[in-house]
Every structure is written in C-alpha cells, then in structure tokens.
C-alpha cells in the first residue's frame, strides 16, 4: 500500500526560497480545502437522498461535462446525465417513506494534480416504505419485491430494513467545483427490522429486486420506485451473503498523481 | 498578488481549515458529555456564554444560559442509564468572516433507562408517564430502551477564541422501542416530547424530573418518524456564507 498523505518530493525547508515555501503552503492549504469540500459534497448527496428531494441532484451534485458520469449500485448502472435525470427527477416521495445512509469512516485522496479525487465511506442506515396494499407490476415492469413482508394486523405491508453500504466515489473538478463523477454503491448488509442478516441472506438472494413498485397513497404522479438502469453493473457483487467472505468492494483509494494512473469506480 | 496579500489570504484559509476541525470536535464533545450524562459541563464548556439567544430546540426550546442550567445541571444519572448519539454525515461551513459556523450531522444512536418499579408522576413539573414503557420483564425490570436517530443543525459562534454552540436544533428522525419497528411505534404512539417518563432513581439520588419543561414550545415542525407524513427536509443543510446576517439561523 502506498504511503498515505503527501507523496511529493519536497526540498528541505532550509533549501526553499520564500516563494517556494509559500507555494508549498498554498498547495497544502488547497489540499485541506479540497478534502473538506468533497466531504461536504458527499454528505450533501446523502442529505438529498434522505429527504427524497433529488430532482436537483443530477444538476447540482453530479459532473456536468463527463459523458461517463454514472452511478453503479450493483443492481445496475445509470450512465450519462440524461439517464441520471430520468432516474432521480420526480422520484416517488410517499408518506412514511424514509431513507437514511449516514456516512462515516472516510478515506479521501485528492490527486496531486488537483483535478480529481477519490473517496470511500461506510454508511449505516435504513430504508422504510410502508404501503397499504401489496405492490403490483406496473409501468417499467419493476419486479415485485420479494422482501415485502406479509401485511401486519393493520393491513400495512412494510419494507423496513436496516441497510449498511460502502461507497467508492470518483470526484472531478469542473468550473472550480467538485462534482461526483463515478459513484459505486456496494451494499454491506441488509435485513428487515425483525430478522438478522444471516437469515435474510438465506431467505433471499441479495439482488436488486428489493423495492417493489407500489401504488402511491396520494396518487402522486411519479416515476416507478426503481426506474430501470442504463445497463447492468460490471460487478454486481455486494450485500451480505452467508456463503461468501466479505468483499473488498469498493476498493480503497490510494494516493495518486493523476487520474490516468489510478482505477475508476 | 503581493507577498503580504498572499500571506494574509493563506492565513485566513488555514484558519478556516483549523476551524472546521475544531467545530467538529466541539460538537463531538457535546455528544460525549451527553452520553455520560455530564450535561452540566455542557453548559459551561460547550454553549455560548455571551449570547442572550443561546438555545437548544429539540421540539421544545431552552433559551438563555439560566434556562440551559436549569435543564442540564444535575440531570439524573442513574445506574444503567445509557445515551448515545453517534455523529455521522457532517456538513460544516465556516463563515467567510471566520466569526460563525454552521454544521449538520446525522446521529445514529440509542437511549435506555432501566428501573425496578414503574415510574410515577411526581414533582411539580408533572412530567407524564411515558406511554411507551413496556411491562416488567422476567427480572421485574421496566425498560425504556429505544433506538434513536436524530439530525442536528447547529450554529456556532467564536467567543474569546473558542468555538461555542450558539443555536442547536435537534430534529428526530426515528425513535422506536428495541423490539418494535418505527412504523409500528409511530402507529402506536404520537411522536412528541413526552417520550421520557419520570423514573424513580435506583439509588434514591435526589434529582429533578427526567425531562424538565422547556422555556417555550418550538416554532419548528414536530419531530420524528411518522407513517402519515413524507420526511421533512430539516434541519436545513448549511451552505457557504460570508457572515451570519446572510444566512438562516437554526
């Protein structure tokens, strides 16, 4: 593993001119600022996701000038701004729906050229959708979620899951602002509230059929709950499996000079 | 840029980077004291000392140092009582003028209080018995044992060179008893600020009611998960700003 932090070969301070010293301080200050902005950006992404106000997410948070801007969540890939807009804009926002992925455990590496960065986080969280009747196949043909529990005594069907994820993110600087370029979401574990994830793994294949399409309570016009991806994921592995060891996915970022010398999420 | 200008600019930027770390430390320390139920320290060490509108809004508002002391000092600290609000998802903005800052966090956590007999309503403040108390378990213990996830919006202000919590907004996300999911909990109980029942101290420790009343009701929307509403986008996310009069207040 490469040494973390500054890999630039530096002159000793006594060998540096005043200008060179200032240049170095400027570089280190910019590095600290970039890391803070990137941390804020990805936390803001999770904020938008948690309040399900994602109409502006493609324009405000994702890269605008990269044709390969994408989100790969294992179950599929959304690629290109048009596809991201198709998925995020007017996403269903039902009463009682709650999504939370609170990120921690950050590892952030900014390229020495300052043009790109990579980040890794773990998120602890949960996803909740209650609805009064069983989901049905409609529209884009989203599959019925096999993990919807049978109705409770009130007739309510619930998706109420603990969900822990890992994220690997490439960031790129556009017009002076950091933007999400490639986002890889890799599920760590998922389980209904009253079931542990070992049993859940045994009961269900961990795939992307989790959230069934369902009828909005209020007749709110919306896109299907999980609009179809652009294409399948190159590596759909993810999620807790009782029959597999933990996956080293996504990879942890390491210090790098310029993007051509590192991997892409 | 002239050398002096360059140095001044760098000094401001480095200070902002340092401030970000200090602000994060201040709020993490607040949670540390809260988890130890040393909340009395919070008033003197964490909250602003010179702002008349220093406050904590959690659904009721405590405003002013005297009110914060009334609530926090000598808060009951029972055997088996445990509070944890683990901070994550930080968004921190330091004002361009370096005098204030804003922060947003999500906290994953839990709160529990076990006690040997069913709480009673006592004392002048009339704290209600929590409707969410379970019956006694096989050991005869009544338990209040909840998963609690919150969101925080915080204004910080620099006083005498130190960052202090100025306006703290605690916004509930979910609360549920350990053995119940939050949908059922929402259906069973209204989510309001009468969650924490008055408890008889285990050791006969003299204490005030578990949850003293607020200074005034919160002007903000009610808190917590409810099956009946879409999730509220609050507290608001902080965005970059130059000085406090150009931004909103938590």
Backbone angles phi, psi at A121, to 5 degrees: -140, 155
Q: What is the ipTM of this complex?
A: 0.78
pLDDT computed for residue B202 by the predictor: 33
Average pLDDT over every residue of B13-21? 94
Query: Looking at the predicted structure, is the pLDDT value of residue A62 above 80?
Result: yes
Confidence of residue A116 (pLDDT cuts 50, 70, 90): very high
Please tell me if residue A158 touches chain B, with a CB cutoff of 8 Å.
yes
The reply to whether residue B227 touches residue A95, judged by beta carbons under 8 angstroms, is yes
* Predicted local confidence at residue A9, as pLDDT: 53
Please tell me the predicted confidence (pLDDT) of residue A249: 76
Q: Which two tokens stand for residue B46?
A: 């964490």
B77-91 pLDDT, tens digit per residue, is 767 778 889 999 999
Q: Provide DSSP, B154-191.
A: EEEEEETTEEEEEEEEEEEEEEEETTS-HHHHHHHS--
pLDDT(B121) > 70: no
Confidence category of residue A141, pLDDT binned at 50, 70, 90 = very low
Q: Give yes or no for a contact between B250 and B153, defined as CB atoms under 8 angstroms apart.
A: yes
Confidence of residue A4 (pLDDT cuts 50, 70, 90): very low
Min mean pLDDT across A52-66, A119-133, A211-225 is at A211-225
- Record: fold of B3-246: Nuclear Transport Factor 2; Chain: A, (3.10.450)
Mean pLDDT across the stretch B153-176? 93
Tokens of A203: 């009961």
Closest CA to B143 of B191, B168, B170, B111: B111
Average pLDDT rounded to a whole number, residues A232-259: 76
Which tens digit of pLDDT belongs to each residue from A224-244? 445 667 777 777 776 666 666
Predicted local confidence at residue B113, as pLDDT: 74
A235, B26, B151 from A177: Cα distances, Å: 30, 28, 26
Probe site for chain B from A24, A36, A53 (most B CB atoms < 10 A): A36
H helices of B37-137, where?
A: 39-45, 65-72
| pLDDT reported for residue B23 | 95
Q: How confident is the model at residue A1 (pLDDT cuts 50, 70, 90)?
A: very low
Domain ranges of chain A: 22-261
* pLDDT at position A182 over 90: yes
- pLDDT higher at A178 or A154: A178
A22-261 has CATH 3.10.450.50 classification:
yes
Interface residues of B toward A, Cβ cutoff 8 Å, are 3, 6-7, 10, 13-14, 16-17, 20, 88-93, 104, 106-108, 149, 173-174, 181-184, 186-187, 225-233, 237
Mean pLDDT, residues B169-193: 76
CA nearest B20 in A: which residue? A36
Task: Determine contact: A100 vs chain B, CB below 8 A.
Answer: yes
Interface test with A, best of B12, B85, B181 (most A CBs within 10 A): B181
Higher-pLDDT residue of B217, A216: B217
The answer to whether A166 and A240 have CB atoms below 8 angstroms apart is: no
3-state percent helix, strand, coil for chain B, nearest multiple of 5: 25, 30, 45
The pLDDT tens digits for B221-236 are 656 666 666 667 777 7
Q: What is the mean pLDDT of chain A?
A: 77
pLDDT band at B125 (very low <50, low <70, confident <90, very high): very low
**Is B93 in Cβ contact with A194 (below 8 Å)?**
no
Higher pLDDT, A84 or B115: A84
d(CA A61, CA A86): 15
């Amino acid at each position: 593993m490469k040494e973390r932090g500054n890999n630039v070969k530096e002159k000793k301070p006594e060998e540096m001119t005043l200008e060179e010293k200032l240049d170095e301080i400027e570089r280190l200050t910019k590095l600290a600022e970039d890391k803070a902005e990137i941390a804020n950006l990805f936390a803001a992404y999770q904020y938008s996701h948690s309040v399900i106000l994602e109409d502006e997410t493609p324009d405000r948070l994702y890269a605008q000038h990269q044709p390969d801007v994408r989100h790969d969540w294992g179950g599929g890939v959304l690629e290109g701004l048009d596809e991201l807009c198709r998925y995020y804009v007017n996403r269903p926002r039902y009463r009682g729906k709650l999504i939370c992925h609170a990120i921690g455990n950050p590892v952030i590496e900014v390229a020495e050229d300052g043009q790109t960065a990579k980040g890794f986080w773990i998120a602890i969280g949960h996803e909740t959708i209650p609805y009064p009747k069983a989901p049905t196949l409609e529209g884009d043909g989203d599959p019925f979620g096999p993990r919807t529990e049978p109705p409770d005594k009130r007739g309510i069907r619930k998706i109420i899951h603990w969900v822990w994820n890992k994220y690997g993110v490439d960031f790129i600087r556009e017009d002076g602002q950091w933007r999400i370029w490639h986002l890889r979401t890799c599920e760590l574990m998922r389980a209904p509230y009253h079931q542990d994830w070992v049993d859940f793994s045994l009961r269900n294949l961990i795939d992307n059929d989790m959230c069934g399409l369902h009828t909005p309570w209020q007749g709110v016009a919306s896109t299907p709950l999980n609009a179809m991806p652009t294409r399948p994921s190159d590596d759909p592995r993810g999620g807790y499996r009782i029959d597999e060891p933990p996956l080293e996915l996504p990879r942890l970022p390491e210090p790098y000079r310029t993007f051509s010398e590192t991997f892409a999420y | 840029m002239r050398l002096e200008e360059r140095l001044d600019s760098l000094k401001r930027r480095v200070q902002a980077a340092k401030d970000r770390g200090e602000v994060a430390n201040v709020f993490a320390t607040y949670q540390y004291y809260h988890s130890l139920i040393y909340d009395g320290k919070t008033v003197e060490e964490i909250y602003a000392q010179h702002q008349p509108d220093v406050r904590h809004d959690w659904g009721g508002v405590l405003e002013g140092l005297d009110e914060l002391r009334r609530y926090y000092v000598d808060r009951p600290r029972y055997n088996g009582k445990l509070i944890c609000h683990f901070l994550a998802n930080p968004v921190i903005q330091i004002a361009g003028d370096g005098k204030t800052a804003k922060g947003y966090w999500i906290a994953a956590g839990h709160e529990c209080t076990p006690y040997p007999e069913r709480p009673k309503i006592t004392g002048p403040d009339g704290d209600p018995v929590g409707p969410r108390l379970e019956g006694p378990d096989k050991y005869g213990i009544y338990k209040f044992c909840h998963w609690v996830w919150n969101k925080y919006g915080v204004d910080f202000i620099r006083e005498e060179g130190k960052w202090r919590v100025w306006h703290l907004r605690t916004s509930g996300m979910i609360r549920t008893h350990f053995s119940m999911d939050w949908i059922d909990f929402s259906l069973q109980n209204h989510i309001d600020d009468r969650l924490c029942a008055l408890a008889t101290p285990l050791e006969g420790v003299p204490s005030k009611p578990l949850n003293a009343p607020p200074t005034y009701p919160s002007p903000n929307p009610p808190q917590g998960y409810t099956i009946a509403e879409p999730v509220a986008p609050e507290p608001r996310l902080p965005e970059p700003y130059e000085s406090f009069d150009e931004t909103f207040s938590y």
